[in-house]
Amino acid sequence: MLIAIGRKLRRKPIRTHAKGATTAIKRARIRGWSVERCNLERAGLKAVPDLFLSQAKRTRTRPASSNRSVTKEKNVTLNRQWRLKHRPEGLIGPEHFEYIESEMDEIAEGDVRVRNLCLSFDPTQRGWVNDMESYMPPVGIGEVMRAGTVGQVVASKHADFQEGDLVQGLGGWQDYFVAPAGAGLSKLPQGVTPEQALGVFGTTGLTAYFGLLDLSEPKAGDTVLVSGAAGATGSVVGQIAKIKGARVVGIAGGPEKCAWLTDALGFDAAIDYKNESVAEGVAKHCPERINIFFDNVGGEILETGLAHLSMNARVILCGGISGYNETEPQAGPKNLMNLVITRSRMEGFIIVDYLHRVGEFLADMVPWYAQGLIQHKEDVQEGFENIPATLQRLFSGQNTGKQLLKLADPS
């Protein structure tokens, strides 16, 4: 089902970068957060090549071509949806969702109807279907599954949105969604691919950037260990750490992922947790022990990392994907006292707290991406019927890079 890796849907890569980044900021509105709109100059983009900046500036005016072809509202009557049927107790899968086709009403004054083009899959979605309050309320039984999406406006009764606009939002697992009063929608700047908007310049890139750089200070000579290293976030974390001069060791599943980390992304070493002992790998590849451990996995991987901390190490808890589908909560690491012995810090974060600092992110990520210092891979599935199964790919480790599913190209 893998139809494209790193495929670019648009032709102008430079334009793409600058605009994809600005999209990420506006995405915050989807969840009702008050987020300052990105200002590239204020964000310190003076360091970016003039060409790049000039491209970025152009994104402020809406492209004249965006109305050229639109699925007409009048033709749309049925909406395919995947709704949460019951809450999973273990591994989440298609059986927890119900396929429904529902009639669509006319939109009200101020509303915007969007056709989803591309869906984002993120480990945090597993938490959204648990019946507990977290940083967002749980998805209710019978509700459309929540998901970040990029789509195209097909009907608008809102002055800020025109048919044909590419927008980002929490559109969910459905063909169409309505944004009441346009709430939570943000337009993609021209030239940004949906993949990039949902990935390297979206929450994926933001998570890697602020998780690593705000919770630690990687520097030349440091050893940085990254788990889930071939995932969307982990792969960017490792590359940022390399930019900062650190020695970077990744943990990933399978020889292909490991080869990608070392050969394409410049990781100093990769440990294949499916085929070798992680403890031995860490001991071998981190002879000076670990200064920074960016953990996406939890469980035994976390415990192994804790066993090899250097003095004053920083453990960044981004997620714990190994435990998300367990029926019982996993026991924590037995060696937490290593935090005491090594005077180390373990800290969690959620990227929503950093959305007001997107400018800092762009000031670095835009030129890094333009210079090829950051590569980003997308794993793009397709087919509406495959949506629930695609979420499962995250938990079986099938994806390399950002997991997406494409429903349609922009019209």
> CB of residue 336 vs its own copies: minimum separation in angstroms?
5
Pick from 86, 194, 216, 107: nearest CA to 150 = 194
Q: Distance of alpha carbon 212 from its chain centroid, rounded?
A: 15
- Applying CB under 8 A, does 57 fall inside the site for its own copies? no
For the chain, the C-alpha Rg in angstroms (whole number) is 21
- Applying CB under 8 A, does 349 fall inside the site for its own copies? yes
- Applying CB under 8 A, does 276 fall inside the site for its own copies? no
Which of the ranges 15-23, 37-45, 325-333, 365-373 carries the binding residues for its own copies, by CB under 8 A? 325-333
**Residue 18 to residue 191: CA distance in whole angstroms:** 9
Q: Which is nearer to its own copies, 115 or 146 (CB)?
A: 146
Q: Which is nearer to its own copies, 102 or 130 (CB)?
A: 130
Contact in structure between 406 and 116 (CB atoms under 8 Å): no
Task: Report residue 41 as tokens.
Answer: 């100059």
Which phi and psi (to 5°) does residue 73 adopt?
-55, -40
- Applying CB under 8 A, does 232 fall inside the site for its own copies? no
Helix (H, G, I), strand (E, B) or coil at 317: strand
- Applying CB under 8 A, does 331 fall inside the site for its own copies? yes
Helix (H, G, I), strand (E, B) or coil at 233: helix
Site for its own copies in 124-153 (CB under 8 A): 134-135
* Neighbour count for residue 54 (Cβ, 10 Å): 12
HSE value, Cβ hemisphere, 13 Å, CA-based, for 103: 2
Q: Which is nearer to its own copies, 175 or 303 (CB)?
A: 303
Which of the ranges 24-32, 58-66, 284-292, 338-346 carries the binding residues for its own copies, by CB under 8 A? 338-346
- Applying CB under 8 A, does 317 fall inside the site for its own copies? yes
Q: Which is nearer to its own copies, 270 or 309 (CB)?
A: 309
- Using the structure block, give the residue that is written with the tokens 């086709």: 101
Residue count at the site for its own copies (CB under 8 A)? 33
Alpha-carbon separation of residue 59 from 36, 126, 144, 185, 366 (angstroms)? 17, 35, 33, 17, 14
Q: Which is nearer to its own copies, 6 or 332 (CB)?
A: 332
- Applying CB under 8 A, does 234 fall inside the site for its own copies? no
Q: Which amino acid is at 241?
A: A
Site for its own copies in 353-392 (CB under 8 A): 353
Q: Which is nearer to its own copies, 281 or 320 (CB)?
A: 320
- Applying CB under 8 A, does 49 fall inside the site for its own copies? no
- Applying CB under 8 A, does 33 fall inside the site for its own copies? no
Residues at the interface with its own copies (CB under 8 A): 134-135, 298, 302-303, 317-320, 323, 329-350, 353
